[in-house]
Amino acid sequence: MAREADRAHGQWTPAIGAYLDALYAGEDGGMREAARAIEVADMPQIQIPPADGRILEVLLRLVGARRVVEIGTLGAYSTQWLARALPDDGHLWTIEVSARHAAVARDVLSRAGLGAKVTVLEGAALLVLPDLEPRGPFDAVFIDADKENYVNYAEWASAHLRPGGLVIGDNTYFFGRLAGVASRDAAEEKAISAMRAFHQLVAREFHGVVLPTLEGLTVGVRR
């Protein structure tokens, strides 16, 4: 077990984060355009940070991903980190329920030259996913949408990933509410239970771990 003094030596600081982001997590023009488009369209600025984008890219490279599904596109910011990891003949399908977000994402992707490599599918993911099944099995599924359905998305991933494929879920600390707090109302109680069911499924059916990013990034390798 690390002593208190050793732990202090290992600590992240904003300055270290900025230094490392510049070194490892450089955004390209398309990613910067996505962030700008999200802001200009007055969409919620809730895309992943660059360091998490780089984690996604490296994870996909590690498993040699070619066929990937993303749930929750927003303005195609994380989409481009995922797409960056794919070989020329790879493909990414990204699902977005909001017509406005999907339109911004399509525009961003087409301007980034990714119109052929990435397909934006519009609709609620639970309804769209069955249409993708003939394209599988997939190498990775990245979940970053409605939290109450994470467990359903992970179940779908378990059925449609190849062995060794990855399920990845963002915000899985559930904004600090996953454990150790009293739920504020019945709706939150239900939402926390749903996120816990996601973790239980990943822990049971995958080789899983939660990477300690700011929001918690769960990664499971399909058995």
Ligand X SMILES: C[S@@+](CC[C@H](N)C(=O)[O-])C[C@H]1O[C@@H](n2cnc3c(N)ncnc32)[C@H](O)[C@@H]1O
Q: Which residues bind ligand X (CB under 6 A)?
A: 46-48, 71-74, 77-78, 95-98, 101, 124-125, 144-146
User: Roughly what angle, to the nearest 10 degrees, separates helices 186-205 and 150-160?
Assistant: 20
Nearer to ligand X among residue 27 and residue 203 (C-beta): 27
CA–CA gap between residue 60 and residue 194 (Å, rounded): 26
Q: How far is the CB of 68 from ligand X (least distance, A)?
A: 13
Q: How far is the CB of 19 from ligand X (least distance, A)?
A: 23
CB neighbour burial string for 53-77, b if at least 16 within 10 angstroms, e if fewer: bbbbbebbeebebbbbbbbbbbbbb
Please state whether beta strands 118-122 and 206-211 pair in parallel, antiparallel, or not at all (unpaired). Answer: unpaired
Q: How far is the CB of 205 from ligand X (least distance, A)?
A: 22
CA–CA gap between residue 183 and residue 122 (Å, rounded): 33
Nearer to ligand X among residue 126 and residue 210 (C-beta): 126
Cβ–Cβ under 8 Å, residues 96 and 72? yes
Nearer to ligand X among residue 46 and residue 209 (C-beta): 46
Distance of CA 64 to the CA centre of its chain: 17
Q: How far is the CB of 4 from ligand X (least distance, A)?
A: 35
Q: How far is the CB of 101 from ligand X (least distance, A)?
A: 4
Nearer to ligand X among residue 92 and residue 201 (C-beta): 92
Nearer to ligand X among residue 7 and residue 211 (C-beta): 211
Nearer to ligand X among residue 81 and residue 206 (C-beta): 81
The single-letter DSSP state of residue 72 is -
Cβ–Cβ under 8 Å, residues 72 and 48? no
8 is written with which tokens?
Answer: 């202090």
Nearer to ligand X among residue 17 and residue 98 (C-beta): 98
Q: How far is the CB of 8 from ligand X (least distance, A)?
A: 32
Cβ–Cβ under 8 Å, residues 68 and 84? no
Q: How far is the CB of 29 from ligand X (least distance, A)?
A: 16
Q: Name, in order, each residue with C-beta under 8 angstroms of 12's C-beta and a sequence gap of 6 or more.
A: none
